[in-house]
């Protein structure tokens, strides 16, 4: 459903807000206290643009938390089970932020801009509050800021052509999960080769909120000849790729092992991190549930407004968290969390939708691009 939303000073308008309204955004949600455009066209039309051409997304709601100072490396390492020792300046990492129980508080993309300067490009939970709370008694010399930085994603097979048109050939060759500071006609930016799709993609981190519409217009001017369309992050594309949505597919009750992301947990890394003991315990005793894919019978499903229960032989075994119809697979697919005993691909289950039950089958994740997910840096 959609409802009227009132704009209030409590919730930020993105620096791109006026440009997105002009481009046809009429529905918004709120993400990290920032308005996030929910779409400009049908999800199917936006899916076509991201899979066949290129899209531009206002994701200023990916709020940036900056950690800097002499102990920035040790402090950032404290927040995540990933080993950052091999993350050189100019490189990025997909990381989990874990609490003392091993639960996931956020899953940002980390950018190491310098030896002693890190950015967390955050999902929808307040990592500045968490990091500042940790810092109070950590005894470490760090500054934690929420700088004026507003990401814009350029995603789709023609994304590189847009970047080359704007920044030249060398920037188009920026390595996967690399980042670099630059400028566009004096607009200060960081660029990374990352994104919330499994398509070729870049992110532009605008570092001057007064120049959002100007940046948007320059990118659109370069992209229009390539078929660039403004779009919202594509639910269809991310579910096909098994990309998780924080607050939907996981929250603080979920740990990285349940998501199948053991490779992002360096239990024996040199530096201390929050959640190590709990995650060691979970690894020793094993998990009880696991994130899986789901194929669902019947007519196309466009959306689930809440998790839908899954049953097997009459017992509840878990929930489908993100359900969608994939135009490419011509199937209903979903991300789900189920008991390990029912996580085997091929297991037949029953999905309770608000409109009745559907037969479904457990599948491996991702549905498309198996190599991409495994290689996510």
- Whole-number Å distance between alpha carbons of 334 and 297: 11
Considering the complex, what minimum distance in angstroms separates the CB of residue 62 from a second copy?
A: 14
Q: Where on the phi/psi map is residue 177: left (φ > 0), alpha (ψ -120 to 50), or beta?
A: left
Shorter beta-carbon distance to a second copy: residue 202 or 273: 273
C-alpha to C-alpha distance for 60 and 305, rounded to whole angstroms: 24
Nearer to a second copy, 64 or 190 (CB): 64
CB count in 10 Å sphere of residue 280: 14
Distance separating alpha carbons of residues 214 and 320, to the nearest angstrom: 41
Minimum distance of a second copy from residue 238's CB (angstroms): 14
> Is residue 27 a contact partner of residue 46, using CB atoms and an 8 Å limit?
no
Least CB distance to a second copy at residue 183 (A):
28
- Shortest Å, Cβ 354 to a second copy: 13
Name which of 5 and 224 has its Cβ closer to a second copy: 5
Q: Which is nearer to a second copy, 143 or 164 (CB)?
A: 143
- The smaller minimum CB distance to a second copy, of residues 53 and 134, is found at 134
Complex with a second copy: residue 74 or 171, whichever CB lies closer: 74
Task: Choose between 196 and 202: whose C-beta lies nearer to a second copy.
Answer: 196
355 CB-contact burial (10 Å; exposed 0-12 / middle 13-18 / buried 19+): exposed
Nearer to a second copy (CB atom), residue 232 or residue 265 = 232
How far apart are alpha carbons 186 and 268 in whole angstroms?
Answer: 44
**Cis, bond preceding 109 (omega within 30 deg of 0):** no
Binding site for a second copy (CB under 8 A): 1-11, 26-31, 33, 35, 38, 99-100, 105, 124-127, 129-139, 245-248, 274, 304-307, 321
β-strand partners of 98: 104
Backbone phi and psi for residue 165, each to the nearest 5 degrees, phi listed first? -60, -35
- For β-strands 34-39 and 27-31, DSSP reports them as antiparallel
| Least distance to a second copy, CB of residue 103, Å | 10
CB 250 within 8 A of CB 104: yes
Give me the least distance between CB of 21 and a second copy, in Å please: 8
Give the residue with the Cβ less far from a second copy, 7 or 375. Answer: 7
C-alpha pair distances (Å), 251 with each of 69, 83, 103, 331: 30, 22, 7, 27
* Rounded CA Rg of the chain: 21
What is the rounded distance in angstroms from the CA atom of residue 106 to the CA atom of residue 111?
15
CB of 13 to a second copy, least distance (A): 8
Separation CA 66–CA 72 (nearest Å) = 9
CB of 127 to a second copy, least distance (A): 8
User: Helix, strand or coil for residue 58?
Assistant: strand
Least Å distance, CB 163 to a second copy, is 30
């Amino acid at each position: 459903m959609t409802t009227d939303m009132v704009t209030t000073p409590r919730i930020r308008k993105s620096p791109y807000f006026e440009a997105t309204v002009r481009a046809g955004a009429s529905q918004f949600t709120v993400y990290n206290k920032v308005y996030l455009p929910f779409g400009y066209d049908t999800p199917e039309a936006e899916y076509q643009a991201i899979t066949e051409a290129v899209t531009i997304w206002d994701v200023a709601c990916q709020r940036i938390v900056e950690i800097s100072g002499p102990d920035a490396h040790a402090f950032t390492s404290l927040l995540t089970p990933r080993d950052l020792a091999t993350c050189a300046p100019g490189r990025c990492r997909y990381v989990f932020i874990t609490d003392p129980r091993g639960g996931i508080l956020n899953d940002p993309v980390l950018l190491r801009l310098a030896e002693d300067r890190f950015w967390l490009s955050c999902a929808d939970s307040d990592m500045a509050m968490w990091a500042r709370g940790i810092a109070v008694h950590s005894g470490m010399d760090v500054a934690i800021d929420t700088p004026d930085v507003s990401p814009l994603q350029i995603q789709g097979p023609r994304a590189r052509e847009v970047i080359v048109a704007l920044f030249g050939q060398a920037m188009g060759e920026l390595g996967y999960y690399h980042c670099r500071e630059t400028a566009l006609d004096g607009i200060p930016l960081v660029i990374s080769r990352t994104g919330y799709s499994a398509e070729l993609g870049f992110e532009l981190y605008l570092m001057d909120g007064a120049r959002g519409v100007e940046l948007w217009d320059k990118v659109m001017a370069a992209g229009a000849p390539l078929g660039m369309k403004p779009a919202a992050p594509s639910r269809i594309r991310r579910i096909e790729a098994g990309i998780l949505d924080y607050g939907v597919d996981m929250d603080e009750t979920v740990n990285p092992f349940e998501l199948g992301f053991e490779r992002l947990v360096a239990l024996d890394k040199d530096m201390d991190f929050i959640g190590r003991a709990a995650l060691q315990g979970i690894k020793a005793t094993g998990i009880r549930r696991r994130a899986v894919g789901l194929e669902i019978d019947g007519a196309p499903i466009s959306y689930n407004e809440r998790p839908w229960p899954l049953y097997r032989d009459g017992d509840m075994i878990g929930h489908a968290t993100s359900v969608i119809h994939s135009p490419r697979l011509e199937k209903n697919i979903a991300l789900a969390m189920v008991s390990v005993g029912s996580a085997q691909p091929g297991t037949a289950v029953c999905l309770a939708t608000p409109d009745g039950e559907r037969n479904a089958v457990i599948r491996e994740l991702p549905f498309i691009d198996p190599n991409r997910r495994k290689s996510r840096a």
